[in-house]
Amino acid sequence: MKFSKLTMAIAVALTASVSSSAFAIDLYVDTTTKQIYAEPGKGRELMGSFEKVGDHVPHKGEHDFIDAAAIHQDLELKENEIKALQEHITEAEKVKVSMDNNGLQVRSADDNFKFRLGGRIHADASYHSGEIRSRFC
């Protein structure tokens, strides 16, 4: 299979455009709205060139710094959150709420306190206009 000069030029152009966009980007900020843009324009100031650093693959012998103190502190915070949630669960288990044919019932787990809301509701309504010409009984 023969490659023509045009095919080779297109391949080189695509490779160059992809690799150049992966290294850095210029960002501009609008002075009135404080929005960030990738292109210059009226009322925009250059913030600077920014490089992509998120997909860095460490080379052989290169080690990432691990902040053990921050991890330990984060772990303590998570443990405190778990303890607080467990306390909320035990508090919630102290009250039992049920709804059945007898109505809404609330009682403590040890049955020392009980509350029941039941009964009937009678709803009535009437409508009156500005002038009453006849009366209905």
| pLDDT tens digit sequence for 41-85 | 899 999 888 887 766 566 665 555 667 888 888 999 999 999 999
* pLDDT band of 21, cuts 50, 70, 90: very low
Determine the Cα–Cα distance for residues 29 and 46; give it in Å rounded to an integer: 7
Share of the chain above pLDDT 70, in %: 68
pLDDT band for 5, please (50, 70, 90 cuts). Answer: low
What pLDDT is stored for residue 20 in this prediction? 47
Question: From CA 27, how far away is CA 24, in angstroms rounded?
Answer: 10
CB 111 within 8 A of CB 98: no
pLDDT of residue 134: 53
